[in-house]
Amino acid sequence: MWLQHNGTEYEVTEDLVNMGVPKQDIVIGFQSPFKRQFTEYAVT
């Protein structure tokens, strides 16, 4: 799952995880690939 933009203060990723989506299946697309490697989420 690719999260392209979060223009709110609301943590969409936390809701996805709470609904059962594994962190390794979520890409924080608005962060550079370099920074993604330091998160708990997928890189690509």
Nearest to 24 by CA among 6, 37, 12, 11: 37
Give the model's pLDDT for residue 7.
86
pTM: 0.78
Instruction: Say if residue 21's pLDDT is above 90.
Output: yes
Nearest to 24 by CA among 4, 36, 37, 41: 41
Distance from C-alpha of 27 to C-alpha of 4, rounded to nearest angstrom: 8
Instruction: Say if residue 10's pLDDT is above 90.
Output: no
Mean predicted confidence (pLDDT) in 16-29: 95
Mean predicted confidence (pLDDT) in 13-33: 94
Tokens of 28: 């924080």
